[in-house]
Amino acid sequence: MQDLDSPLLDLRNIRCFVVAAEYGSLSSAGSALGMAQSALSRQVSQLESLLGCRLFHRTGRGVSLTEIGRAILPRAQIMLQTAGQLVDDVLAQRSKPAGSVTIGVLPGLSRPLISRVLKRLLLAYPDIRLKAIEAYSGEVENMLAEGHADIGIFNRYRPLRHAAREAVFSAPLYLVGRAGASALSKEPVRLSAIARLPLALPARPNGMRSYLDEICHRRGLKLDVVLEASSGTLIREVVLNCDVYSLLPHHAVADEVRAGTLAMSAIKDPVLRQTAFVNATRKHPLSSASKVVLKVVVEEMRSLDTTVARSA
């Protein structure tokens, strides 16, 4: 227990430290917090004085964390998040759920899902604020484990031995390319044929890539991956503008398929599916607002699953 006569941590100092670390610049952090750079610098210096160590290296280009700064940053972020949830929970007890909720969402699901979730929240819970971060499954699960996301949506591709969580969405993958591309037809395409095509796929580590690599290794196939990308938006962009293909679910390119700019073919031998799961972080208790958003996300994911099943 902390000595009552010893100096206490000030959340203002902690917030300035965290934002400066995230921006890598005192001036940018000050702008983000609506305060002068000199005032923010004083707050950081007060924290350094209290802890008796330097948290940043100051350079002409900005600031970078010292070894101690890197070590305490995750705990400082959790302190701010916990304090914010305390305020959110008190507000929720007084009125409707309120506060900020962070969602880690897969690139292929973000476009149809987040607008649906936000539309419902604006109508029923206008005091909830969403922060949506696009990331592939591995990164989403890391965000949940570290408490950087309250809710996360991630995929599995290989059959599960046991369902630790209930799947909320399942969809087949298609070979996707520009409309009129020679490799696309009404007949399903075999993986052996896909291996001969120039592909744009998610960068490793990635669940789909791992599963594809495993299948190809067993069959003596090698994929021709001309682009690895960490963004689903970038993959859609190059497929639209270059003579390359990708493996994507229908909902990820539904607008382009309807517009006639992209086309797709079913895949066989094997049929590839992505199964999506929703989970909440265990790093900290969920706020009332997070519980509301979790419920809405699960409902909209299941609704999306029904829509995709009808269009398939």
- For 225-238, the pLDDT digits (tens) are 999 988 788 898 99
Which amino acid would we find at residue 39? A
Q: How many CA atoms lie within 13 A of 201 on its CB side?
A: 23
Of the chain, the percentage scoring pLDDT greater than 90 comes to: 43
Nearest to 225 by CA among 247, 201, 191, 209: 201
The span from the CA of 160 to the CA of 8, in Å, is 49
**Would you state the pLDDT for residue 161?**
54
Q: What is the mean pLDDT of residues 112-139?
A: 90
**Two tokens, residue 147:** 């408490």
**Would you state the pLDDT for residue 100?**
92
| Residues of each domain in the chain carrying CATH 3.40.190.10 | 91-163+275-311
**Would you state the pLDDT for residue 3?**
46
How much is the CA Rg of the chain, to the nearest whole Å? 23
**pLDDT tier for residue 95 given thresholds of 50, 70 and 90:** low
**pLDDT tier for residue 205 given thresholds of 50, 70 and 90:** confident
Which amino acid would we find at residue 9? L
Q: Say if residue 281's pLDDT is above 80.
A: yes
| Residues of each domain in the chain carrying CATH 3.40.190.290 | 169-273
How many CB atoms are closer than 10 A to CB 66?
15
**Would you state the pLDDT for residue 203?**
85
The span from the CA of 56 to the CA of 76, in Å, is 14
The span from the CA of 275 to the CA of 270, in Å, is 15
Q: What is the pLDDT of residues 10-26, one digit of tens each?
A: 888 999 999 999 999 98
**Two tokens, residue 170:** 């399942």
In this structure, which topology does domain 169-273 adopt according to CATH?
D-Maltodextrin-Binding Protein; domain 2 (3.40.190)
In this structure, which topology does domain 91-163+275-311 adopt according to CATH?
D-Maltodextrin-Binding Protein; domain 2 (3.40.190)
Q: Which burial class, exposed, middle or buried, applies to 1 when counting CB atoms under 10 A from its CB (0-12, 13-18, 19+)?
A: exposed
**Would you state the pLDDT for residue 94?**
61
Q: Say if residue 86's pLDDT is above 50.
A: yes
Q: What is the mean pLDDT of residues 185-214?
A: 89
Q: What is the pLDDT of residues 141-154, one digit of tens each?
A: 899 999 999 999 98
- Could you tell me where the DSSP H helices lie in the chain? 11-23, 26-33, 37-51, 67-94, 107-124, 137-146, 191-194, 207-219, 232-241, 254-259, 288-311
CATH annotation of 11-81: 1.10.10.10
**Would you state the pLDDT for residue 92?**
62
